[in-house]
Structure 1
Amino acid sequence: MYKYNKNNDLLIGQFFYNKKLSFVLTENKDLIYIENKHINRTDNNQFVLIKIINEKITSKKSKKFGLIKKVLGNENDINTCINIAIKKYNLITNFSKKTNLDIKYLNDDISSDMISKRTDLRHLPFITIDGKDAKDFDDAIYCEKININSNSEYKFKLIIAIADVSHYVSEFSNIDQDAFKRGTSIYFPNKVIPMLPKKLSNDICSLLPNKDRLTLVCEIILDMFGVIDSYKFYESIIRSNFRFNYEDAYQLVTNISDNKFISNKIHQNIFNIYNIYKILKQKKYNNKNMNFDLNEIKFNIKKNRINKIEILERNDMHKAIEECMLTANICAADFLINNNSDALFRIHEKPNVDKIDNLFKFLISIGISIEKYKKMNLHELYFDLLENTKNHAQYKLIQSMCLRSLQQAKYSFVNIGHFGLSYKAYVHFTSPIRRYPDLLIHRFIKSILKNNQCKNIENKSIDDLMSSKERLAEESSRFVSSWYKCLFAKSYIGQLFSGVITSIVQFGLFISLDDINIEGMIHISSLGNEKFKFDKNNHILLGKYSKKTFCISDKILVKIEKVDLFFRKVYLIPVNR
């Protein structure tokens, strides 16, 4: 009997065929049979989008039959997984026809009337400092040291100019509706799905060097100990004088290199930014704020091929810009609270008891005493643990386990503070080109500045929606990164590597291969003939007869046995020498 399928849902799978049989293996490991007349020149091992058309039901089992709707790409093509991610997570890649029409009429012309209504800061040597590959520049900075008296006392004037996206993207406009649906830009290793059309994100709104740009400014006065004396918000026009990347900026402030093409004013600005960072860093240390020293990975891609996976170390200029942005964000939160305005807060709850208990069990398993940590409050615990284990052989793993113990930050109209940053109130203000919540915050602030009255949001479910959009972006980015790691690992099948056990579960061990910056798994069945028992409390696998144990942080020699791209798994086997 055939049963017609009325469900229009499309499935993603990998296509296989031989002379007798053609089928698609889906992510759920279902087999969908494809009749020869529906193959449409699809090659073996290609990833496809299929629709189930009917189901053949017999007394013993049923067979599902499908139709190939679209070929997503070959398994060795680095763009295939992006095509899959777009379909898997229902990502919006095209702007509406109305938005594309509206964007044609936008330009970066700034009239004298517009300038007259803003504070003109074009005489100040603003700079932008971003990653080498960045194209959307949300923020520009100017920092000035102000001497107070002859006793060597001083203050800093920190002016953070953020792209005034809300000037070009009015509420409920076609562009705004498209941006709202996306919620955030999504960054893949070699592709960006922007929240705003590129004409806005990479040009009109982007704070490009030597271009007049409209901005919303947070001007902050900090004392010599990094305490905020005062702040104010206002609309302005600026002209960025120079575009630095983090590496060049760091080399300049540490005297590794000297750029003769940079004026003395720009030199002084960047040194002031660096000096204020050192003050803010010391303030955080004195306040015992937790400090993670995390690095990102970068895929070195040339000619559509992943040549290397590199670790991008964050230098002090990364951290300096981050501290400046954090300072502006807490000022924005304070401004909205003081004006009784609605605000989409960035909140972070305290870790729950079970997560802390698991963290303690992990620490015990790697030989770290937890007695003193039991007596500390949570902020002191994380601060002390991260500071005092920096020289530990497994510091990278300790940081990872600390992160796992924390709750996930999210957006909310109800402020409960931000545990991880130790802030009583916090919002996202500094990235309106790529995050919709920041655009909302700009509208709240400008409503107060122009009308002296707060702006209220009727749809209070926006916080949950924006949190879900953020998670979707993170999941899709992780999907592509995991796929790229597996694709890179395929070239090392059969080779030996020294690894470190980073996690232990009932079905096996997860191993970090730091030489090539990927992670793989040893299934419990590959550990030998005897049975292994998973001790959840002590985070170990224990051999039933030999009493051989596998513990977190143990070093182990492994061989890459096989790679499953579709399920994003690298399978390892232990090697005994």
Structure 2
Amino acid sequence: MRSNDKIEERKKMLEEFFASEEYKPMRFRDIVSLLQVPKDSKHELKEILDSLISQGVIVLDDKGRYKIPGDNIKTGIFSATQRGFGFVILEGEAEDIFIPENATKGAVHGDKVRIMLSNERTGRRQEGIVLQILERGIKEIVGTFQASKNFGFVIPDNQKFGHDIFIPKEDTKGAVTGHKVVVSLTSYGDEKRSPEGKVVEIIGHVNDPGVDIMSVIKAYDLPVEFPKDVFRILDYVPDEVDPKEIGKRRDLRDIQTVTIDGEDAKDLDDAISLTKEGDIYHLGVHIADVTHYVKEGSALDKEALKRGTSVYLVDRVIPMLPHKLSNGICSLNPGVDRLALSCFMDIDQNGNVISHEIVETVIRSDKRMTYTDVSKIIEDKDEELIKKYQDFVPMFMQMLELSEILKMRRHKRGAINFDFPESKIIVDYNGKPIEIRAYERNKATKIIEEFMLIANETIAENFFWQELPFLYRTHDKPDDEKIKALSIFIHNFGYSIKMGNEDIHPKELQKLLNKIEDTPEEALISRLTLRSMKQAKYTVANTGHFGLSAKYYCHFTSPIRRYPDLQIHRIIKENINGKLNEDRKNHYEKILFEVADHSSKTERRAEEAEREVEKMKKVEYMMDHIGETFEGVISGVTSWGIYVELPNTVEGMVRVSEMDDDYYVYDGERYQMVGEHTKKTYKLGQKVKVRVINADKLIRTIDFELVEVEE
């Protein structure tokens, strides 16, 4: 009788051989010799090889050698799912590779793996099998400890990890049931054994204030405390601007200048001045000169680069720079002298920058304005505020004029505006969410956005034509396959997009978003359009910004909270001071690629952590509203349920298994749920009333049930 175990073992050995560095094309007899296969088992080996050929893993060449097709071996990052299967993300390639549950080879979320493509496809998606785990992505994991008599185990917060972690009694570090802990993995387990680990840190009890957010901070390995050598440098950072430095700069302290930010902003890194002569606007964008205090190669600089960006987590900020800089000498606070790097632009009536100048300056902001107050002045014509800020009102009205001109110019060239409602989560002193509301963007926020955009474009174009080493903010064109899939999807709703020579212009997506505005399907199509596009990133090559439809773009305007801005400030200052010699150019050419890559990664890490905390706080908020009824809008329909979004941006799901007034069938073409007997229909954009029936903070889910439908 044939041994299935033996066959599987030989198949595994073959796969490992084809994935190994020793691999070379081989004839059948060579493989028999290599694997030491007995004569009576040769036919089994032949069957295995034939099976691998049928799967597309290997081919038989014209010389009778078994070999791997040239492009069949890939390396990428494994992304797990809660249901066991996963995907491998290949850098620089549009399509992720689907990995069935029985082909993961024990890979866990975040692992770097070598895979082999097969002929199999799941829908339109290419399938593959994991051959080798090259590098473990997760070495420590955060979770909730559960004690047992002679051991413990940890339920990971990261649902993609997929397995509870066994903790021997001697490695529990005294943790008790309910403790949030950091676990160092000592074994990743296999089909028969769970992963093992040891507790290296107890964060606190799951119910203690602040432990939830600290768990996310630990899970994403976000640095909280600054090292001692950074604090030693802070002793030498002044509280006021050195008078000697003022004499070396252009003095703008007598020019009317304001900052406009949110009410709770503390790091004010941009200020605006604006005048108008005839048809020409003279716009000044003044950015905090952080590099004057953060010297290249210092402990402060190295820590800023390591962090890459500030992270905003509902009730706290993990800053890129210590508060003495970010909220002190580098913050453009009103009524005090501050060093700045200023970009002056002369802009005509069509929004074209006809001339510009970049210069080191000293400024003194006249007022610290808020978006709310400026909006009330320019939109609501609030008499009390107009009187209070009467000396600044003419400038605010000119700002509105210019921002509308710049917005129209961007619109004409095809810039895409994704205007999703953002959340404002209000928490009490214990970090408990007490209110969630949609964060309204008004005309004042859009003024600042437009001025920052035009400054970033102007700076990027300047340095591109000088052919100097630089960091650009780039956004590549979407992949054809994703745009084609979007085109098929929107066709179901009666929309279309034009593709020219297989490429799409951002204007086409802009037109689509304009067409769907205020329609029931707006939220879904907008999100899918966004997902069809690539992520913006930092690069040393200027490849343009698809979403902004801009040929030149960089990040210049936020050096307090983003390292790429800080990095290009150094290059700009050396250039305008005539110090960017060949040695310095060579220096920047050596370091900028790594700075760009690292900054892109830290940005993604920050965004993921911010989303995770926001999702967690929304679930926690709804835990106090179980049994209550809300009005909402159907934001998504799938075979397993209906997603409903509330006006405060909280989204939950009505599971189809809970819809017991009829048997509901999912209509995939029209994205609706239809009752088999009553023909009752639930579709995108429909208003519904829902009752909250469950909210699970651990797995971040909110469950609703339907109360009634508003026709």
* TM-score, structure 2 normalization: 0.72
Alignment of 1:36-435 (within 5 A): 42=175, 44-51=177-184, 62=193, 67-77=198-208, 79-147=210-278, 154-254=279-379, 255-259=381-385, 262=388, 264-304=390-430, 305-365=432-492, 367-370=493-496, 373=498, 378-435=505-562
Read off the aligned partner of 2:604 and give its amino acid letter. R
Question: Which residue matches 1:561?
Answer: 693
* Partner residue of 2:703 out of 567, 571, 577: 571
Task: Determine the C-alpha separation between the residues in 1 that align with 2:375 and 2:648.
Answer: 27
CA 1:288–1:173: 2 relative to 1, 3 Å = same
Read off the aligned partner of 2:283 and give its amino acid letter. L
Judge conservation of contact 1:220–1:231 (CA < 8 Å) in 2.
yes
Task: Determine the C-alpha separation between the residues in 2 that align with 1:389 and 1:55.
Answer: 47
Question: Which residue matches 2:60?
Answer: none
Task: Determine the C-alpha separation between the residues in 2 that align with 1:219 and 1:411.
Answer: 25
CA 1:561–1:422: 2 relative to 1, 3 Å = same
Matched, 1:476 2:609: yes
SS of residue in 1 equivalent to 2:281: strand
SS of residue in 2 equivalent to 1:281: helix
CA 1:549–1:72: 2 relative to 1, 3 Å = farther
Task: Determine the C-alpha separation between the residues in 1 that align with 2:189 and 2:398.
Answer: 73
Judge conservation of contact 2:520–2:686 (CA < 8 Å) in 1.
no
Gaps of 5+ in 2: 1-135
Judge conservation of contact 1:139–1:431 (CA < 8 Å) in 2.
yes
Judge conservation of contact 1:339–1:448 (CA < 8 Å) in 2.
no
- Alignment deviations for residues 433-463 of structure 1 (CA, whole Å, 9 cap, x no partner): 0000001111111111011646433122322
CA 1:294–1:556: 2 relative to 1, 3 Å = closer
Deviates more, 1:300-309 or 1:116-125: 300-309
CA 1:380–1:39: 2 relative to 1, 3 Å = closer
Matched, 1:517 2:649: yes
Task: Determine the C-alpha separation between the residues in 1 that align with 2:307 and 2:701.
Answer: 29
Task: Determine the C-alpha separation between the residues in 2 that align with 1:66 and 1:463.
Answer: 34
Alignment of 1:478-493 (within 5 A): 478-493=611-626
Judge conservation of contact 1:180–1:436 (CA < 8 Å) in 2.
yes
Question: Which residue matches 2:633?
Answer: 500
CA apart distance, 1:263:
5.8
* TM-score, structure 1 normalization: 0.87
Identity of aligned residues (%): 34
CA apart distance, 1:167:
0.7
Deviates more, 1:62-71 or 1:159-168: 62-71
Task: Determine the C-alpha separation between the residues in 2 that align with 1:307 and 1:402.
Answer: 33
SS of residue in 2 equivalent to 1:332: helix
- Alignment deviations for residues 474-525 of structure 1 (CA, whole Å, 9 cap, x no partner): 001111111111111111223344443333455x235133144311234454
Question: Which residue matches 2:99?
Answer: none
SS of residue in 1 equivalent to 2:325: helix
Question: Which residue matches 1:14?
Answer: 144
Deviates more, 1:483-492 or 1:15-24: 15-24
- Alignment deviations for residues 286-330 of structure 1 (CA, whole Å, 9 cap, x no partner): 444333333321111123221111111100010000000011101
CA apart distance, 1:161:
0.6
Question: Which residue matches 1:3?
Answer: none
The Cα RMSD (Å) is 3.2
Judge conservation of contact 2:524–2:635 (CA < 8 Å) in 1.
yes
Task: Determine the C-alpha separation between the residues in 2 that align with 1:264 and 1:20.
Answer: 74
Matched, 1:463 2:589: no
Task: Determine the C-alpha separation between the residues in 1 that align with 2:365 and 2:163.
Answer: 55
SS of residue in 2 equivalent to 1:484: helix
Task: Determine the C-alpha separation between the residues in 1 that align with 2:440 and 2:529.
Answer: 20
Gaps of 5+ in 1: 1-6, 148-153
Judge conservation of contact 1:336–1:444 (CA < 8 Å) in 2.
no
Read off the aligned partner of 2:364 and give its amino acid letter. R
Judge conservation of contact 1:362–1:539 (CA < 8 Å) in 2.
no
Task: Determine the C-alpha separation between the residues in 1 that align with 2:209 and 2:519.
Answer: 37
Question: Which residue matches 1:150?
Answer: none
CA apart distance, 1:63:
6.3
Task: Determine the C-alpha separation between the residues in 2 that align with 1:458 and 1:221.
Answer: 35
Read off the aligned partner of 2:396 and give its amino acid letter. I
CA 1:261–1:195: 2 relative to 1, 3 Å = farther
Deviates more, 1:43-52 or 1:402-411: 43-52
Task: Determine the C-alpha separation between the residues in 1 that align with 2:594 and 2:199.
Answer: 38
CA apart distance, 1:78:
5.5
Read off the aligned partner of 1:268 and give its amino acid letter. P
Task: Determine the C-alpha separation between the residues in 1 that align with 2:498 and 2:686.
Answer: 24
Judge conservation of contact 1:513–1:519 (CA < 8 Å) in 2.
yes
Task: Determine the C-alpha separation between the residues in 2 that align with 1:77 and 1:329.
Answer: 43
Alignment of 1:22-37 (within 5 A): 23-26=153-156, 27=158, 28-32=161-165
Task: Determine the C-alpha separation between the residues in 2 that align with 1:89 and 1:544.
Answer: 46
CA 1:34–1:158: 2 relative to 1, 3 Å = same
Judge conservation of contact 1:497–1:515 (CA < 8 Å) in 2.
no
Judge conservation of contact 1:361–1:538 (CA < 8 Å) in 2.
no
